[in-house]
């Protein structure tokens, strides 16, 4: 039987199959070498591998594009919410504090206790605005008290008494205590126990032998400290042996420039009480009252503890239109009793720049009693090293 072999026409040599994978070149190779199964199998295997690689790459790209699109869409939905969110929830609306249950107990007519109700619910805490509204915050001027002191028998009594009064004054208050030559351990211990904000200073004077009035140099040391550190407040000279009312320190905060008031004191003879200070009409000073004829030559008749002034006068002269910028200090060269008037003359020009404390000078707010005791021996540090002698034995 004769076999007829038909060769491919030239027209079909360049035509591809429908799946676009194998070419006519592969078919030509297959047709020319149909007797060799080895080459035909290799060609088929390479074609299938190429097709699988192409499909795998195409599927990876498709998955990557989908993940990217959904990620961007979720990010946009998270950034731009489409509903209203209640922001009124505050951390203060929840309380995790363990509180005992509320139990209401009533007493009946038969003297038996009856349990009325027990509340075990979670109690809502007070809102934040209500808690802050309960704080009584009032802006107050600072009171700066300068106290000269020295070691003597009644020093501990005087400082403790004054410290207890200052402890009751509403803050802010600064107590400047000045000692001469060196700071004593007894004074430092008393100041630490008062609970008042204080500064313990030492007046260093090279010519201690020529000092006429110790208190003048100690007060000047306090004034220099205020001027150097630019402390803002109302300055008041409070000697430790005077008696002060709590109302006095509260009234000092009403002073804007310079305030004054009358002071009650014992005469040097200790047999009569006198009043010295301004005579006021409402808030204006219209005159002065004094009982000592030797002091009538003074310009301003006021005690050292009978006036207070704004501390900015010391370190801000432009604010008060002072014509000179010399430091304001007390003078040790003047006669005793004239330190007050010479100092006030550096602060104000006349009575028109003064304020009465309280209005109309209607109350005595402090007393100068001159009760200091001289020449008394007291134990060092107020500590008894030895037991006292038995004067009255126990029978």
E strands present in the chain = 102-107, 113-119, 143-148, 173-180, 198-203, 234-237, 243-244, 258-260, 263-266, 273-281, 284-289, 307-310, 355-356, 366-368
C-alpha angle with apex 376: 371 to 382, nearest 5 degrees?
100
Contact between residue 310 and residue 257 where contact means Cβ atoms under 8 Å apart? yes
Strand, helix or coil for residue 78 = helix
| Catalytic-role residue among 189, 340, 351, 389 | 340
Burial class (CB in 10 A: 0-12, 13-18, 19+), 266: middle
Q: How far apart are CA 135 and CA 33, in angstroms?
A: 104
Rg for the chain, CA atoms, rounded: 49
Which residue has tokens 């403790």?
Answer: 160
Distances (CA, A) of 155 to 201, 204, 227, 306: 16, 20, 28, 22
Told to judge if 340 belongs to the known catalytic residues of this protein, a careful annotator would answer yes
User: Cα–Cα–Cα angle for 167, 343, 352, nearest 5°?
Assistant: 90
Task: Give the active site residues.
Answer: 340
């Amino acid at each position: 039987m004769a076999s007829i072999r038909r060769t491919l026409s030239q027209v079909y040599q360049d035509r591809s199959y429908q799946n676009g994978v194998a070419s006519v070149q592969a078919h030509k190779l297959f047709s020319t070498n149909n007797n060799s199964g080895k080459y035909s199998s290799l060609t088929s295997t390479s074609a299938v591998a190429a097709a699988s690689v192409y499909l795998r790459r195409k599927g990876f790209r498709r998955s990557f594009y989908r993940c990217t699109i959904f990620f961007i869409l979720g990010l946009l939905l998270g950034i731009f919410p489409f509903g209203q969110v209640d922001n009124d929830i505050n951390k203060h609306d929840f309380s995790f504090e363990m509180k005992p249950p509320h139990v209401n107990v009533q007493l009946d007519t038969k003297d038996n206790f009856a349990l009325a109700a027990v509340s075990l619910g979670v109690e809502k805490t007070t809102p934040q605005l209500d808690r802050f509204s309960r704080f009584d915050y009032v802006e107050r001027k600072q009171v700066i008290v300068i106290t000269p002191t020295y070691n003597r028998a009644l020093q501990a009594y005087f400082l403790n008494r004054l410290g207890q009064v200052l402890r009751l004054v509403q803050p802010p208050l600064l107590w400047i205590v000045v000692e001469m030559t060196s700071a004593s351990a007894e004074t430092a211990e008393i100041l630490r126990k008062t609970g008042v904000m204080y500064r313990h200073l030492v007046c260093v004077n090279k010519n201690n032998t020529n000092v006429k009035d110790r208190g003048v140099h100690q007060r000047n040391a306090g004034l220099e400290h205020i001027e150097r550190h630019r402390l803002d407040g109302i300055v008041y000279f409070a000697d430790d042996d005077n008696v002060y009312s709590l109302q006095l320190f509260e009234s000092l905060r009403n002073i804007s420039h310079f305030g004054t008031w009358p002071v009650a004191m014992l005469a040097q003879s200790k047999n009569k009480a006198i009043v010295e200070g301004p005579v006021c009409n409402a808030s204006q000073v219209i005159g002065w009252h004094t009982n000592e004829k030797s002091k009538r030559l003074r310009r301003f008749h006021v005690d050292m503890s009978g006036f207070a002034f704004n501390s900015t006068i010391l370190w801000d002269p432009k604010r008060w239109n002072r014509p000179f910028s010399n430091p304001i200090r007390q003078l040790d060269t003047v006669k005793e009793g004239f330190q007050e008037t010479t100092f006030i003359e550096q602060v104000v020009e006349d009575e028109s720049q003064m304020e009465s404390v309280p209005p109309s000078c209607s109350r005595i707010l402090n007393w100068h009693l001159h009760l200091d005791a001289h020449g008394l021996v007291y134990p060092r540090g107020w500590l008894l090293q030895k037991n006292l002698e038995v004067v009255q034995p126990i029978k």
